[in-house]
Amino acid sequence: MTIEKEISRRRTFGIVSHPDAGKTTLTEKLLLFGGAIRVAGAVKSNKIKKAATSDFMEIERQRGISVATSVMGFEYNGFKVNILDTPGHQDFQEDTFRTLTAVDSVIIVIDAAKGVEPQTEKLMNVCRMRKTPVIVFINKMDRPAQDSFTLLDEIEEQLKIKVRPLSWPINNGPDFKGVYNIYDRSLKLFDPSIQEIEEGIDFRDVSSPELETHIGDDAQTLRDELELVEGVYPEFNRDDYLKGNLAPVFFGSALYNFGVQELLHAFLEIAPPPQPSLAEEREIKPNENGFTGFVFKIHANIDPNHRSRIAFVKVCSGKFERNKVYSHIRLGKTVRISSPTAFMAEQKEIIEEAYSGDIIGVPDNGSFIIGDTITSGENIHFKGLPSFSPELFRYIENADPMRSKQLNKGIDHLMDEGVAQIFTSQFNGRKIIGTVGQLQFEVIQFRLEHEYNAKCHFEPLQMYKACWIDSDNPAVLTEFKKRKHQKMAKDKLGRDVFMADSQFILQMAQDEFKDIRFYFTSELN
């Protein structure tokens, strides 16, 4: 198969949701279709239900599985489908944001009873920022749900995107009878006792009295609602969807494997193949000859018996080949990757080659950090992996002076993995950890102890934001750093960061130093 053909048959996407809406269940059902897993229950949820360390320990125990399931590839009807899983817990949202930089489209799962929830909104904001095409799956129709039109209004309003239903439910909860698939004009009847994949009934003309034989009195309601749908929502336009302006909506019940196949078929028909990626120097097209890729995720210590790390690399252009010599742009040296892995749901295996759209796992002994670019020679740097200003800050201190080397190494590794951000105060030299959630501090403490045999404790620090700063006027920058030296820190890469104690202090600094730019993400542009 030519490179062009290999690339055009790839579909790389992420499934996102507010915790508990059904992301894991839907992922698992999609994998069953792809034959990537054989039995339900094979995909372990990597979500953390309560914000408790004990849950995290359990997750850690299953780490081997959760790593394999964080990228899942399978073949279906001639397509190579790559699903990227994202952590549901909000304390790990940075990980999710980074993963979304590696996908070409997204399926958002919404609980039909709860509607749009806070995490759904945040995730949609990221998709909108990146103009990622989005399909909505309204899940749990077998349970009492909100009115379908109300749900669609809520999605339009809160997620700020136009919608177009491509399937329509017939009732919900105990009266749920099935969905009418507007996309291919067929009726699919719901039977909770059957979870097998069933063919829909071809039903081009819903005005036919035959509809009554299938769904009785609900037939007229369905006709009326479909008429309303056609009247209210514009025709489905794939271009609008691809531009991220229109979200097609499907209804179903992932638990009962209902509406999932329709979703998958429509997805494969409309979702985009690998898209161009933006490097600082230029746009990189997926079908270019040269290989390029970037690291969007790092997992350390997957196997507690070996100090192993895996860097997840998204292939952005060309063909990746095992054992070929590539350039590691940040380090300015060459790398030869001898055991790259691909992830199938139940195992990871060594691969010989991969194409744009694929994700490969690269065993790493510490030479990669998140955002690194690898290419077949061209000197480019991929964009779009910003660190966000953390929301919580603590000093980190060594609790076992005999093991400071282990502690420093552990902190270094965990920061490379993107678990949190570290800053070094230029005033007192103390190390500050910044996170978006309390759970991250617990995770750091737990992992330092269990993976590096090092102990730490945290000390409270009242801080509002860490802002990266720069200016076209070096003298002003020097003056700023001198005046604010008590509040200046360096990030992991040695960049200047202003640590503002409060919104007021930040505002004052901004007012006083008009020539200084303050950034709330590490991407300084």
Which residues lie across from 363 on neighbouring strands?
310
Which residues lie across from 71 on neighbouring strands?
84
Alpha carbon distance 323, 337 (integer Å): 5
- In this structure, are residues 188 and 200 in contact, taking their beta carbons and an 8 Å threshold? yes
Nearer to ligand G4P, 262 or 416 (CB): 262
CB of 356 to ligand G4P, least distance (A): 28
Q: Tell me if 105 contacts ligand G4P by CB under 6 A.
A: no
Question: Which position among 7, 21, 187, 246 is part of the footprint of ligand G4P (CB under 6 A)?
Answer: 21
Which residues lie across from 187 on neighbouring strands?
180, 201
Nearer to ligand G4P, 10 or 188 (CB): 188
17 in a labelled binding site? yes
Phi and psi, residue 265, nearest 5°: -65, -45
Nearer to ligand G4P, 32 or 432 (CB): 32
**Among 21-29, 230-238, 278-286, 299-307, which window interacts with ligand G4P (CB under 6 A)?**
21-29
327 in a labelled binding site? no
Give one DSSP letter per residue of 54-102, joined into a string.
HHHHHHHHTHHHHHHTTEEEEEETTEEEEEE----SGGGHHHHHHHHTT
Phi and psi, residue 333, nearest 5°: -135, 175
**Among 68-76, 248-256, 356-364, 464-472, which window interacts with ligand G4P (CB under 6 A)?**
248-256
Q: Site mask, ligand G4P, residues 33-72, x = CB under 6 A?
A: ------------x-x-------------------------
The strand pair at 431-435 and 421-425 is best described as antiparallel
Neighbours of 231 (CB within 10 A): 7
**Among 22-30, 209-217, 361-369, 491-499, which window interacts with ligand G4P (CB under 6 A)?**
22-30
Q: Tell me if 23 contacts ligand G4P by CB under 6 A.
A: yes
Question: Which position among 6, 14, 17, 80 is part of the footprint of ligand G4P (CB under 6 A)?
Answer: 17
- In this structure, are residues 179 and 169 in contact, taking their beta carbons and an 8 Å threshold? yes
Q: Tell me if 319 contacts ligand G4P by CB under 6 A.
A: no
**Among 14-22, 146-154, 306-314, 415-423, which window interacts with ligand G4P (CB under 6 A)?**
14-22
CB of 255 to ligand G4P, least distance (A): 3
The strand pair at 319-321 and 353-355 is best described as antiparallel
Number of residues that bind ligand G4P (CB under 6 A): 18
Binders of ligand G4P in range 130-189 (CB under 6 A): 139-140, 142-143
**Among 161-169, 205-213, 221-229, 249-257, which window interacts with ligand G4P (CB under 6 A)?**
249-257
CB of 12 to ligand G4P, least distance (A): 20
User: What is the SS3 assignment for 420-489?
Assistant: CEEEEECCCCCEEEEECCHHHHHHHHHHHHHHHCCCEEEEECCCCEEEEEEECCHHHHHHHHHHCHHHEE
357: which DSSP letter? Answer: T
Q: Tell me if 449 contacts ligand G4P by CB under 6 A.
A: no
Q: Tell me if 254 contacts ligand G4P by CB under 6 A.
A: yes
19 in a labelled binding site? yes
Residue among 314, 309, 297, 311 at smallest CA distance from 375: 314
Question: Which position among 24, 86, 261, 376 is part of the footprint of ligand G4P (CB under 6 A)?
Answer: 24
From the centroid of its chain, how far is CA 18?
12
Neighbours of 520 (CB within 10 A): 13
Which segments are annotated as binding site for GTP?
17-24, 85-89, 139-142
Which segments are annotated as binding site?
17-24, 85-89, 139-142
Interacting residues with ligand G4P (CB under 6 A):
17, 19-25, 45, 47, 88, 139-140, 142-143, 253-255
